[in-house]
Amino acid sequence: MGLTPIQGDDTGDAFSIYDGSSFVFSQSGSQVRDTLAVLHRYGISPLRYKWLAEEMGRRFSRLYDLHGAGQAFATPQQLWEAVGLFNLTQQSAADYMQAHLAHGVLRYGAAAFIEELAGAVNRINYNQRNAGMNALAGAILARW
């Protein structure tokens, strides 16, 4: 292919987010500076989405209790309804994030978070955009 390796700066474990034209976030190595940069760019959307995903995780875990009690389901819909997650299988991750993050007084940074961070993780992990996957699958990203 004619590619020649070049030596770049070794950033070690540094994390950056590229939006297709420029780096919109890069770790600096300072926890305080990085936290402030994330808050400036994404507001508290990452934390809010993590809380939502943790609630989904608690509901999902109830499946094990139901299974242990001998509960069976005739359809997937019945299974998801039993733990209160069916509605998440019926809406896109994009719509769910818009509804829960991009409205109200705490919406600052939500659009950037949805597209740049959540969108990137879903494209990397699932090869899908937020609009092309359901909200339940999309919420798994926040369970880091």
Instruction: Write the CA distances from 61 to 33, 56, 58, integer angstroms.
Output: 36, 9, 5
Q: How confident is the model at residue 35 (pLDDT cuts 50, 70, 90)?
A: very high
Between residues 2 and 27, which one has the greater pLDDT?
A: 27
pLDDT of residue 12: 61
Question: To 10 degrees, the CA torsion angle through 96, 99, 103, 104?
Answer: -100
Between residues 11 and 134, which one has the greater pLDDT?
A: 134
Query: DSSP string spanning 93-141?
Result: HHHHHHHHHSSSTT-TTHHHIIIIIIHHHHHHHHS--GGGSBHHHHHGG
Structure pTM?
0.75
Q: How far is CA 55 from the centre of its chain?
A: 14
Among 55-64, 92-101, 120-129, the least confident range: 120-129
Average pLDDT of the chain is: 87
CA dist 49 and 101 (Å) reads: 7
| 42: nearest Cα among 117, 122, 94 | 117
> If you search the block for the tokens 């007084």, which residue do you land on?
105
